[in-house]
Structure 1
Amino acid sequence: MNVDLKKKIIPAIPGFVYAVCLVFGHSLEKEGSIAYRDGRLWLTILILGILLSAALTVIMNQLQKRLLPKGLEHETGQQIRQVPAGRMTFLYAGIIFLCYLIVFLGVYPGFFVYDAQDELMQVITRSFSTHHPLFHVLLMGGTVQLIHKLTGSYNAGIACYTLLQMAALSLIFGYGIRKLKEEGMGRRGGILLLAYFGGFPTIVMFSLCSAKDGLFTGMVLLMVLMLCAFFRDPAGFFQKKGHCACLFLSSCLMMLLRNNGFYAFFVFVVFLALLFLKAEWKPYRKKMLLLCAGAMLAFLVVNKGFAFVLHADDSENQEILTVPIQQLARVYSMEGDTLTEQQKETLFEILPEEALKRYNPKVSDPVKVDFDNEAYEADKGKYRRLWSDLFREHPFGYFNAWFMTSYGFWYPGAVIDVYKGNTVFTFTYEGSSYFGYEVEEPGERKSLIPLVDRAYRFLSLDERAQEIPLLSLVLSPGAMFFLWTFVLCFFWYTGQDRKLWPFLFPGLLFLTVLLGPTYLVRYVVFLWVLLPVLLWELCRKSERKAAEK
């Protein structure tokens, strides 16, 4: 691509993406739908897109002039600073763990939430399903039940699992800080990262939460660190067996903790295969593809092995059909009088009318919970035809249904209140569903530091936390999406492709959550955890070869 043309086109991509997100998001937040036929909406997007593109062009130009010449020099295959590896990793991990311990005492025995009871009951009753990743069911549920057997206390079991996860994530974050310091990060940067990983509320919440999202995010962090090392110095990467083992294990565990991780990783490996067609990657092509393929194979063997040994029920389809289910429910709920009797009859075979009446625009759970898997399996073609027929008749309704369950991921002004009105074990959600916060039965909250408990309850459940100007932005998935998009486009704009490629995988992960049941922070915690690595790559000077292009 012509350099001048490239310099004009690249800023326009995030410029118009931001414009669409802002205009669509505002409409969805205020009206619950988008008026696609309103010409003023598209005119607003056009004008805003042009203005944002122009502004981003100036910003990227200035950033390139100011940042790149001052970037930290880095010679391929050499470490800038020699840091005592094990000792420093444990030191950083210990400091982070102590920060977590204060919060742990405040919210004792931890945050036992997001289907935690369901996973524990699978272990207690020995009745398993693949609805939740079996690896996490056995890890979390097994730990809680084992400690309960030994002590007679479920709180002790929950606390034990929480402490183990805190320790694991503290070590991972400590390792991440040490890796960045090896690459030249200074003392102040290290202190800032200790404060960030140890004290930023969103990260702390999920480090003390029994849900799989914390450990999953830790594995993604390790993967991205290894991918950065590979793309920076592929020859040096394969000389360090520890790096290869870390990438293999973290990739495998990441997929075992979340099914969407497998889909994102598969697409990422396809991208690698295409990238490696270039001659410069030929010496590393076979090794890297074998490593990634081995991780996927290991995941499939272990995952299928768990399902086979545990006789797990794998008949559910509703998780992968979340968006189509929500689209059918919206059309019935809002335009049901336009459906023929035959269409309604077919729809009721897989979604009972009672379930369709529970339609919530922001979350698919109330409807999909009653999806009839047996009926769907008996004649998939019939129900796919129903979906396609209704799509042709109600395309805008389908788009609105999908956007309403995902706009919180890409609109900075979205208030995360998807569970508003839902009653759970210890409270009823009101204006905020930022974080689940509670301890599900059979656990019980016994705070030892009530002030900490009140602070995290405020951040989790009080809508005011999402309305305070600066705080609302740093807590917003949409704001993180804007920041990530800008930095990745800047790498492309400046020809720093080797900095861009490691972050393609979390980008693919982000795309998978857009097809999920709702927009919750738990699905995109990696945006915050990986942010220091992304910003470090932004500040770090490229290898000469990349910089000279």
Structure 2
Amino acid sequence: MQKKRAIIVSLLLALVGTWCLPKMLNLKGNSLAISNSFFSIFLWGGCAYALYRSLIRIGKKMDRRGAAAAGLLGLLFSCCIAFGVQLDYGENVNFKDAGMWISILIWAGILTIWIQCTWETLKVWQERRGRDKGENKLVDEDGIWYKLCGKWNSMSEKKRTALTMCLLFLCWLPVFLAVYPGFFVYDAQDEFIQVQTRNFTTHHPLFHVLLLGGTILGVNKLTGSYNIGIAAYTLFQMFFMSGVFTYVISYMKKRGVAFIFRVGTFFYFAFFPVIVMFTLCSAKDGIFTAALLLLLLSLADMAREKESFFASWKKQIFFAACAVVMMSFRHNGMYAFLVMIPVLLLYMKGWRKKLAFLLGGTFAVYFLAAAGLSALLSAQPAGKQEMLTVPIQQLSRAYKYDRESFTGEDLETLYEILPEEALRFYTAKVSDGVKIWFDNEAYKADPGKYMRLWAKIGMAHPFTYINAWFMTSYGLWYPDTIIDVYRGNEVFTFTYEDSSFFGYEVEQPGTRESKLSFLNEWYKSMSLEVTQQKVPVLSMLFSAGFLFWVFAFTFGYTYYTRRYDLLIPFLMVLLVWLTAILGPTYLPRYVLILWFALPATVAVLVN
């Protein structure tokens, strides 16, 4: 694009974009905070300059394929930002707001230019590094980093592994002492009671129920202390996580990731609060996500090195083991992996028979183990309310805001599965208050009857249904969300207020016995108060919505650069994320993989 034309386009597009900006920011309805502020001049100038530089860079290298991918990503991001602003402000998206749609289109255009320019810049930079340094060179540091890397590489692999694991464990130890005996939270008491009473259900994964409850009860019999039992489980999980993260760092070395980046990854795993929180948390999400992370690396190996992967029985067993553990610790992992089957079979041309055999064996082991354990423990089947959480929330919202649309017969049908008393507990951000009342027996007797009611009300009020779903999921795709879904809920030791970021709790029969009170208070503040959200830039590292778009950006980049082997693991992350946005609410633990896999994702962009 010619410079004069680029200047004119940049100035005009930046001006319109600045004018539309109030629709893309949560200003609590005060659009004058932008339009009537001197700061708008800086916004306009900065936006215009960035657009000009981008247009000049991609003007001669514009390709339709890249523009289409960048355009789709820019449009989706703009929609999510505009929708998120309205949901955050009024718990409702006004789909008839013309100004919102204009703003979406304007910013989609701006973002398309920026995204494609960034992709092209990254591509050229990586190609230059490949020419200058050699694509397979493991170390490209000079000076002290080169010397440290040399010393590190001179150690045996076993010694490096043991040392990394020990260092990670030691880095987590002060936090463990501060929050002793660990974070015993998120259905922990319910799982413990199942083992204690020998009364099991399949609502929670039985493998985790037995591991958690069995450890606590077993240690309690030996020591007479439930706290020591909880601490024993926490220490076991710390050891397990240190092994997983060490494997990830070793995998990076194998793939040629620079030494300094691997050091940064170590410090991220060792000290970043979200990682530490869930390493010390008894919830099933930690082990599930760790297994998923290893599965992603195995999928990358399969897609990149098909022949060597299927020639190695060790790699295939590792793949199957990771998949079985992942599916055994969260049901949605199994659903996501099922959807991956046709994608894998389509991509792995020439290896489909071996892949089908491997996948068949993996699922056979999982289903046989799950069914066998359920039969052995005489576990009662879980209800349908988890699978129907979105329809339940949609009917509840329609009942609250559009009750006049329900006929007498409709209300009678609705009350059969959701009592009138239950519908009064509707809250927009979480479905738990209503779904616990769901009558599974009534639904099981005639599911078609209730699905017809759901469809009928949905046809009459589609936007109500969309907003009901958005309100329980927007924290997973809107970066600026403050996670306060449990506001007002009373738990064992506190009442949720400004933040529900992390369930900072020790449920009964455990009690908190902090050995380092200052560190304990710091983690409590990050969990239950708006603390890290007050720090610009850093706050986004705690945002599930922001990290999702980092992954989406990288997914688009791998497509743009035709690195299709990397699309496979990214697709698995996307599928897990899709199961999460169909869940009861938005919490970091549902998409923990966004934090666990972040270093590997950034490595794709910079290495």
TM class by smaller structure: over 0.9
2:333 equivalent in structure 1: 261
- Does residue 399 (structure 1) correspond to residue 458 (structure 2)? The answer is no
Which residue of 163, 174, 186 maps to 1:91? 163
Which stretch shifts more, 405-414 or 231-240?
231-240
Q: Secondary structure at the residue paired with 1:469?
A: coil
User: Displacement, 1:275?
Assistant: 1.8
User: Displacement, 1:470?
Assistant: 2.0
Q: Secondary structure at the residue paired with 1:400?
A: helix
Query: Which whole-Å CA distance do the structure 2 matches of 1:422 and 1:68 have between them?
Result: 53
User: Displacement, 1:210?
Assistant: 0.3
**Structure 2 unaligned runs (5+)?**
1-61, 138-148
User: Displacement, 1:313?
Assistant: 1.0
Q: Is the 8 A contact 1:433 1:461 kept in 2?
A: yes
- Does residue 68 (structure 1) correspond to residue 140 (structure 2)? The answer is no
- Does residue 359 (structure 1) correspond to residue 405 (structure 2)? The answer is no
2:438 equivalent in structure 1: 371
Q: Secondary structure at the residue paired with 2:314?
A: helix
Which stretch shifts more, 333-342 or 301-310?
333-342
1:43 equivalent in structure 2: 102
Which stretch shifts more, 386-395 or 44-53?
44-53
- Does residue 164 (structure 1) correspond to residue 236 (structure 2)? The answer is yes
Q: Secondary structure at the residue paired with 1:114?
A: coil
Deviations 1:433-483 (A, max 9, x none): 000011001100000011110111011000233232223201000110111
User: Displacement, 1:74?
Assistant: 4.8
- The equivalences for 1:383-422 within 5 A come to 383-422=450-489
Q: Is the 8 A contact 2:129 2:135 kept in 1?
A: no
Q: Is the 8 A contact 2:405 2:457 kept in 1?
A: no
User: Displacement, 1:199?
Assistant: 0.6
**Structure 1 unaligned runs (5+)?**
541-549
Deviations 1:499-527 (A, max 9, x none): 22222111111111010000000011111
Deviations 1:41-92 (A, max 9, x none): 211111111111111122112221122331474569xxx9897333222211
Q: Secondary structure at the residue paired with 1:290?
A: helix
Residue type matched to 1:207 in 2? T
Query: Which whole-Å CA distance do the structure 2 matches of 1:36 and 1:365 have between them?
Result: 27
Residue type matched to 1:99 in 2? C
Which stretch shifts more, 418-427 or 7-16?
7-16
Give TM-score scaled by structure 1 length.
0.94
- The equivalences for 1:197-236 within 5 A come to 197-236=269-308
- The equivalences for 1:170-189 within 5 A come to 170-189=242-261
Residue type matched to 2:598 in 1? L
Q: Is the 8 A contact 2:345 2:355 kept in 1?
A: no
Query: Which whole-Å CA distance do the structure 1 matches of 2:157 and 2:593 have between them?
Result: 24
Which residue of 25, 29, 47 maps to 2:88? 29
Deviations 1:268-293 (A, max 9, x none): 111111223xxxx30x3222232122
Residue type matched to 2:96 in 1? R
Aligned CA distance change for structure 1 residues 97 and 501 (closer, same or farther; 3 Å): same
User: Displacement, 1:184?
Assistant: 2.0
1:330 equivalent in structure 2: 397
State the identity %: 45
- Does residue 498 (structure 1) correspond to residue 578 (structure 2)? The answer is no
1:145 equivalent in structure 2: 217
Residue type matched to 2:71 in 1? A
1:427 equivalent in structure 2: 494
2:597 equivalent in structure 1: 530
Which residue of 460, 463, 468 maps to 2:527? 460
1:547 equivalent in structure 2: none
Larger radius of gyration: 2
Q: Is the 8 A contact 1:327 1:397 kept in 2?
A: yes
Q: CA RMSD in A?
A: 1.7
- Does residue 485 (structure 1) correspond to residue 557 (structure 2)? The answer is no
Residue type matched to 1:32 in 2? E
Aligned CA distance change for structure 1 residues 297 and 204 (closer, same or farther; 3 Å): same
2:78 equivalent in structure 1: 19
Residue type matched to 2:515 in 1? L
Q: Is the 8 A contact 1:111 1:210 kept in 2?
A: yes
Which stretch shifts more, 211-220 or 311-320?
311-320
Deviations 1:304-354 (A, max 9, x none): 111111111114000000100000111111221331111111101000111
Aligned residues: 531
